[in-house]
Chains A and B, each alone.
Chain A
């Protein structure tokens, strides 16, 4: 199975400050179509997960522009330019290249 490793696991951030979450895969997530099969999801407290990013760096419809994602080999990063109160929750990376699809451990973002 592909192992996804996130860091940090906890991230307190002051409102308006930037935040960055890292995710590393144990093997390449590059599909034969040239895209990384890596998604990012946010699970707000008490809610179901929601899609933020797909194919490594593509923002899903309705996701604010303050969320960006970059890829570099097996390293993936989700960046929030200026954290807002509604960004609180647990962020997960997930690989969809091969089954079983696997998630990172999750990064809990909270407001300082």
Chain B
């Protein structure tokens, strides 16, 4: 399972810290992603963090404002969201990336496990 927490209602310019806690699998074997969904809109990829936490990547609109980290000893990924904007209002999902390794080559198998989502509302 993946369980998100930390959502809430904040004013423009403020911060929130989202958590994604995993149970039931080998956490440090998987890249973890955040995907968001604005009210009534489609899915939007936000960020990812590598298995060892050393590498992260973000969509341009959140670069410099969001920071993702992980603590593999606690099976947790954190996304620190600063300088929040109304357009950041969304349900935020964390998702596990599945993969396989064949003869030393890694193959992407999609995001196979998703949390239930946590809602972030940024008021202007």
Contact = CB atoms under 8 A, between A and B. Distances in A.
Interface of B: 33, 35, 42-45, 48, 57-60, 93, 95, 98, 105, 107-112, 114-117
Nearest to A40: B110
Interface stretch (A18-26, A70-78, A79-87, A97-105): A97-105
A33 B105 contact: yes
Binding site secondary structure of chain B: strand
A37 B43 contact: no
Given A48-B114, A48-B117, A99-B57, A105 B108 contact: no
Interface in A5-56: 31, 33, 35, 37, 39, 41, 43, 48-51, 53-55
A48 B115 CA distance: 7
23 contacts: A33-B105, A48-B93, A48-B116, A48-B117, A49-B93, A49-B114, A50-B114, A51-B110, A51-B111, A51-B112, A54-B98, A55-B109, A58-B109, A60-B112, A90-B42, A92-B43, A96-B110, A99-B45, A99-B48, A100-B57, A103-B45, A106-B42, A106-B43
B42 A60 contact: no
A57 interface: no
Nearest to A104: B42
Contacts of A109: none
